[in-house]
Structure formats: C-alpha cells, structure tokens
Structure 1
C-alpha cells in the first residue's frame, strides 16, 4: 500500500483508498470497522502525545512504573470530533473526519493499521491522506455523524 499526503486539514480531512478491485459488501464492512474503531479511540482521546507516559518510560522502566495521574489530568484533551460514512465508487473508497484536537499520532496509527489490513484482507493499492479526487468531488458541507 502506497501512502501519499495531500493538503491536510485536520478539521475536514478526507481519506481516500484505491483498492485492487471493487470491494464486496464484506470488504466494505471490514474497512468501515477499521475506520470506526480508529475513530472511537480518537473520540475517547487516545491519540494524545501530551500523555504518552508508558512510551516515554521505555521498555526497561515500564514494569511497576508509577503512572502520574496529575499529569494525565492536566494534559490538553485531544479528541476527534466527527466522522462521516464510508463511501465507495468502483475501486475507490473515501471517508471524512474531523480530527479535532487529536495529534498527528492518529494518522500514524491509522496508516499502520491499514498496512496490515491491506495485507491480510482487502488489497489497498493507495491511501491518500487529505486533498480531493478530481473524478469524485466532495460535498461542500459535511454533515456531522457521532
């Protein structure tokens, strides 16, 4: 799967997928589950680089580490706001997101998940983060779905 970043607006982000072939209903359900799961973690504030205590502790010190709840409570909230419905047209799929105040960590997590998803399930040839597809215009106003 090739990944390409286009113009990224985290408050109105389209993610585009070009598949090897037109997806089946099962393929669409699986891709929707991946995106919905990623969104739910973001909605709950999971992509917050201001509070990555275990990661920064390192493998040697994470056992029996003291979790700093005050730091966690004082960290800026980083939550996704909205997600549109997964749409498809031929070999193409797309989905709209408002990443709100979440960090770019969210995009890395999505890409990592999609790479494995593409290998094991639906073959994705390209994933475009942001921008538009000239052959498939986007609506001028996105309706919120929570």
Structure 2
C-alpha cells in the first residue's frame, strides 16, 4: 500500500545561547500521532504511535530525534486503522434510512404518507380520515351482545323480499365468514326440504312413550323448496340478502332467527333483523366501493 504523509512537525532551531541557559532536562515521554490517506480518497488511515520514553536527556538531542522520526517513511501497515467511510455514510445517510422504509410493502401507508411526508398537517388529516372510515373495524367488541336481538317484519313476502341484518359494529372477517356459513347451510337445508312444518312427527309427538316415525306419511307430505337466495351484501354495519323461499314456510324463518340469535349472543352483536322492505335507514343504494365500506360475500 502506498501511503502518503499529510503532515510533518517542524520544530524551530534553538540557538546555543538559549541552550546554555539550561543544564539539562529530564527525560520525557512522547506520543506520535500520524494521519495518512491512501490513493482511494474515501478511505482514511490513522496511525497512533505507541508512547515511549525519549532516548536522550539532552534537549537538543531529543529535538533532533523527533525530527528524524518525522522524516521516516511509514511502511508497516499493521498499526494502521482502516475505516471504510462509504459504509458509515450509507448507514447514517437519509437515503439508507429511506430504503429500509419500503412503502411498497404497505400500500395503504404509502397512500397516506407518500405525497404528504413533508406536510405533517396533511398527513395527520389523511390518517384521521382513514381512521374515521375504518374505526368500526379497528375499535369494537369482539364478543357477542347480552342485549337480545330484535326481530321486525316489514311487508315480508316469501317469494321476493330482502332480509336486513344490522350489527352494533362493522363485523370482522371471521364474523362475516360465520354468518355466510350459517346462511349457506340454512339455504341448503331449506332447498332440500328440511324445514317442512307439515311433517313434524317427532317434535309434535308426546314424550311419555317411545318415539315412532311413519315413513309413508313423511313421504306423502307436500315438499317445501327454497328456490333462490342472493349473495350477502355489507355496508359498514348493515347487511342484506334477497330470498325467494317460494312457499310460505314459517319454520324456515324460525330456524334462521334461532341461529342468528345465538350468533348475536356468543360471537358478534346483532342489533336487529328486519324481514321485508326494499329500503333501510342506513343503507345507500349507490354505495358500491370497497374503500367506502361496501363488500359482497358469496352464499
């Protein structure tokens, strides 16, 4: 390694008259510090000489010894401290920090702060707006409600009606999945004729004797069919689905109400279920954007 010496120490010459004023000086220790750089200007080398006692007690001799040491070429690189300043700059530079904060991993955060990073007031406004939209999904109870779910009928027609479900808070994803699974199961059982109030042999039989089932009677009962059902639509804390049950079968509604009552009590609080009506107080027909809290779930 070619090492160039930046500095050298030059001591003034002392005249004999000045030396004669002193007999001798006690020996003292010296510490030699030298700063060097290589041909690569981004890397610097520092050499700290070890402290050692002077070889002579005579002042003039000591000064000459120091001058001789300053004129020597440094060849031993073992005592050099090698500092890579490029790495230091990368570690503490704003560019290095920005690369670590990769906004591509969080598009929502990038959308909020990407264009307002230098404007704290604007960033704060965006965050408050986002919190307002998603507050019900962030801050809410995750258990059911002790308040009984209300059931209201509003011009309900079995062959063409909406069923409305109003929650106390916007349901979580796991709650939506549970409700969709419940409605899907309800539809399958109804479509297969499982909720036929005309064939209630066991539930209507007395309990004081061994149950019996008349298969001939059961086979000859007019079947009930659940014709059609829509997907579940949700706007914030209100959900709706359209049904075409076909025949007037109250038992189908009882089965759904019983299931939703249990869900409200144990899992997610339901304020009320409304059967019938094409409009709802908190429902906007024109709201179809997911960013505004609208979503559709397959039944």
- TM-score norm. by structure 2 comes to 0.44
SS for the counterpart of 1:35 is helix
SS for the counterpart of 1:55 is coil
2:271 equivalent to 1:132: no
User: Contact 2:161/2:278 (CA < 8 Å) preserved in 1?
Assistant: no
Change (3 A) 1:115 1:105: same
1:101 pairs, out of 222, 247, 269, with 247
Aligned to 1:70: 216
User: Contact 1:80/1:102 (CA < 8 Å) preserved in 2?
Assistant: no
2:208 equivalent to 1:60: yes
- How far apart, CA to CA, are the structure 1 residues paired with 2:233 and 2:248? 23
- TM-score norm. by structure 1 comes to 0.86
Aligned to 2:184: 36
CA offsets 1:62-104 (integer angstroms, 9 cap, x no match): x3x3311111111011110111111100110111111122611
Task: Judge which range, 126-135 or 115-124, deviates more.
Answer: 126-135
2:225 equivalent to 1:79: yes
User: Contact 1:79/1:102 (CA < 8 Å) preserved in 2?
Assistant: no
Change (3 A) 1:102 1:113: same
- Look at both structures and tell me which one has the larger radius of gyration over its CA atoms: 2
Q: CA deviation at 1:133?
A: 2.1
- How far apart, CA to CA, are the structure 2 residues paired with 1:127 and 1:89? 15
- How far apart, CA to CA, are the structure 2 residues paired with 1:106 and 1:23? 24
2:238 pairs, out of 72, 92, 97, with 92
SS for the counterpart of 1:49 is coil
SS for the counterpart of 2:262 is helix
Aligned to 1:142: none
- How far apart, CA to CA, are the structure 2 residues paired with 1:13 and 1:122? 24
CA offsets 1:1-51 (integer angstroms, 9 cap, x no match): 111011111011211011011112211111111111111110110111111
Aligned to 1:16: 164
Aligned pairs, number:
138
- How far apart, CA to CA, are the structure 2 residues paired with 1:93 and 1:59? 40
Name stretches of at least 5 consecutive residues in structure 2 with no aligned partner: 1-148, 287-297
- How far apart, CA to CA, are the structure 1 residues paired with 2:191 and 2:227? 6
- How far apart, CA to CA, are the structure 1 residues paired with 2:245 and 2:206? 28
Q: Which has the higher contact order (CA 8 A, sep 6+)?
A: 1
- How far apart, CA to CA, are the structure 2 residues paired with 1:44 and 1:54? 19
